[in-house]
Amino acid sequence: MAELGLNHYLLLSALLFGIGVAGVLIRRNVIMVLMCMELIFNAANINLIAVSRFRPDLTGQVFTIFTIAVAAAEVAIGLGLVIAMFRNSTTVNVDEIHLLKG
Amino acid sequence: MEIYAFYAIAAVVLSSAVLMVTSRHLVHSVVYMVISFVAVGALFILLEAEFVAAVQILVYAGGIVVLFLFVVMLVNVSETYQVEFLHRQWLPATVLSMILAAQIGFLLWGNAGGLAADPSASGSVLRAVEGGNTETMGMTLYTDYLLPFEVASVLLLVAMIGAIYLSRKRV
């Protein structure tokens, strides 16, 4: 069996990214869309950590810490918006949210 | 040996991600998301990034998932279990995003060879002391990346104020 290289991690990250994009596109629930965005963040983190491991440089790990902080902030704001939206229109379905449509 | 661990963890990550996207009940999706996040943390340990693995477990599996669970339980129960939980055009969307993933994966698989240096020489850079890279991470974070670190703390403060403002009683 082949040696474990950077290729394997990058391919896994690309597949995880694809699953996340598919989830964002096909689910109707806003909470589910936010969760799939977390999958996409995780794919990016795997890329950063793997490259940081295979060309020895700590910068990738440091930026993963920043990515996780930004993801936490994004989830807090996004879920706050979901709560506000649910309170105003009593739905969390992305197809039924068309308040800004002319 | 390492490659078997990688394949096992990758199988857990991908299958729990697929189950998360396709499961009908939102709480089940959250549970599958926890499994996927913990497996990604295991992947970080395999990549010798122990500190980031700990942060991943603490922040994702500890914090973000609890946040999601609270919001899932705050919104209506009938909304968390929908018969039509997929978009009308879910099949073309899935096919297109799989094509996108295949393209990205193909390009990265073919062109990563130049980056894949000898991993056995990486020990001295990634860890100053034996048994973990927390000390090296701390030194780098508080010397070279001090300004981004402070900016990240301001960002978290802004996010906290924004979340409190958005989810107030009367918006």
Top-tier CATH class for B1-78: mainly alpha
Do residue B52 and residue A90 have CB atoms under 8 angstroms apart? no
Quick: pLDDT tens for B72-120. 888 866 655 666 777 788 889 999 999 999 998 888 887 766 555 555 5
Do residue B52 and residue A61 have CB atoms under 8 angstroms apart? yes
Q: What is the CATH number of the domain that holds A24?
A: 1.10.287.3510
ipTM rounded to 2 decimals: 0.89
**Residue in chain A nearest B164 by alpha carbon:** A80
- How does residue B167 score in pLDDT terms, banded at 50, 70 and 90? confident
What per-residue confidence (pLDDT) applies to A102?
65
The answer as to whether A96 is a domain residue is no
Burial of B14 (0-12, 13-18, 19+ CB in 10 A): middle
Provide the number of structural domains found in chain A.
1
Do residue A64 and residue B52 have CB atoms under 8 angstroms apart? yes
Distance CA B141, CA B143 (A): 6
What per-residue confidence (pLDDT) applies to A16?
94
- Tell me the mean pLDDT in the region B16-42: 93
pTM: 0.88
Pick A58's closest partner by Cβ from B67, B98, B137. Answer: B137
The answer as to whether A11 is a domain residue is yes
Q: Which structural domain range is residue A16 located in?
A: 6-90
What per-residue confidence (pLDDT) applies to B131?
55
- Domain residue limits, chain B: 1-78, 130-171
Do residue B166 and residue A72 have CB atoms under 8 angstroms apart? no
Quick: pLDDT tens for A29-62. 888 999 999 999 999 999 999 988 887 788 899 9
The answer as to whether A1 is a domain residue is no
Pick A83's closest partner by Cβ from B21, B144, B167. Answer: B167
**pLDDT > 80? residue B63:** yes
Largest CA distance in chain B: 58
Distance CA A51, CA B165 (A): 39
